[in-house]
Amino acid sequence: MNALRTTAAAVVVVVLDVEAVLVVVVVVVVVGVVVVVIDLVAIVFFISVEVVVVVVVVEVVALTVSVAIVVAIEVAVVAVVAVVAVVAAAVVVAAVAVVVAAVIVAVVVGGGVVDAVVIKVVVLQK
C-alpha cells in the first residue's frame, strides 16, 4: 500500500502580545521561508514526503471559551501551505523551531492586542 502515514507532527501554541496584523505578516513570511528552505533541503535527501503547514490566528478569548469554537475557527480560517518535498524529520523539527523563534521575536518587538497563533507542522511520508 502507498498510503500516507504521519512521521512527525507538532502543534505549537504561542500567546502573543502583538498587533494582529503584525502576527499574521510575521508568521506567514516565516512559514513561507521555512517551506522554501525545506523544499531546497529536499534536493539533498531522498525521502518523499508531503509537508503541510497550517497556521491559524485566533483570539485568546475564543481559546478560553470552547475548544469546539477554536476548531470551528481553525477549519474556517486556516491558511495552508503545502509542498511535496524530500525532507528528513529532523529538518522539519528544526523548521518548527525557527518558526517558534521568529514568533517569540515578534512578541518581544510587538505590543497591543493579545492573540494566539497555532502553528501545526505535519509530515506525511509516502
Q: What is the pLDDT of residues 57-67, one digit of tens each?
A: 444 443 444 44
Q: How far apart are CA 37 and CA 31, in angstroms?
A: 10
Q: How far apart are CA 60 and CA 50, in angstroms?
A: 30
Give pLDDT tens digits for 6-40: 444 444 444 444 455 455 556 666 666 666 666 66
Q: How far apart are CA 67 and CA 60, in angstroms?
A: 12
Burial 83-108, CB ≥16 within 10 A → b, else e: eebbbbeebbeebbeebbebbeebbe
Question: For the chain, how many structural domains are there in total?
Answer: 1
Q: What pLDDT does 37 receive?
A: 63
Q: Is the pTM of this model over 0.75?
A: no
The parent domain of residue 64 ranges over 5-125
Q: How far apart are CA 45 and CA 65, in angstroms?
A: 44
